[in-house]
Structure 1
Amino acid sequence: MPVVKPVVVPDLGDFADVEVIEVLVAPGDQLAPETPLVTLESDKATMDIPCPDSGEVVELKVSVGDRLSAGDTILMLREAADATAASEPALAADAPRADITAAPVA
């Protein structure tokens, strides 16, 4: 079952309270790892914040003009089915195996 989890601003080093100058995704977008989510601008630089995982944007928590620091939530991401499948045990591996023997062909 896909999990919805927050995507937060990573530790930006000396940057805190930086402005969102561009939101690059919208609810419903399918994202791959490293897809840019937002562009932040400090006094010294602009930087794109990448998506850490693949999945679907469920809800945006920021808009242009907001100010963010490390740990602030950018959006809610529903993990891709393949990402959650990899973290759950495989049911087929637990299923009993049937013994199949080949019958001779006449």
Structure 2
Amino acid sequence: MSIVDLNVPDIGDFDSVEVIEILVKAGDTIQAEQSLITVESDKASMEIPAERGGVVKEILVKLGDKVSQGTPVVRVEAADAASAAP
């Protein structure tokens, strides 16, 4: 088992977007592709999915934070590499 940070993937033409909802909490068991947070730009809102499954150890963003591609969102204890999203 390893501790990994799950980051914001490529979100298109947006430099930064605001976190408007956090969909998981510490202790939750998540699956690959499960939504972690909802972000909103001036044009749209979108959910940011998990790259892999595991147990959420820490939430690294707060409501109102601005995030961009590569920003760490949550820290998880991943069971193994097989839980990575395709």
Asked if these proteins are the same fold (TM beyond 0.5), I'd say yes
**Whole-angstrom CA distance in 1 between matches of 2:49 and 2:60:** 15
Q: CA deviation at 1:26?
A: 0.3
Higher helix share: 1
Whichever residue aligns with residue 45 of structure 1, its letter is: A
Q: CA deviation at 1:54?
A: 1.0
Aligned residues: 82
Offset from partner CA, 1:67-99 (integer Å, 9 cap, x none): 00101100101102xx35x5xxxxxxxxxxxxx
Q: Which residue of 2 aligns with 1:77?
A: 76
Q: Which residue of 2 aligns with 1:102?
A: none
Whichever residue aligns with residue 55 of structure 2, its letter is: E
Whichever residue aligns with residue 63 of structure 1, its letter is: K
> Secondary structure of the residue that 2:12 maps to in structure 1?
coil
> Identity over the aligned pairs, expressed in percent?
44
Gapped regions of structure 2 (runs ≥ 5): none
Question: Structure 2 matches for 1:17-28, cutoff 5 A?
Answer: 17-28=16-27
Q: Which residue of 1 aligns with 2:54?
A: 55
Higher strand share: 2
Q: CA deviation at 1:52?
A: 1.1
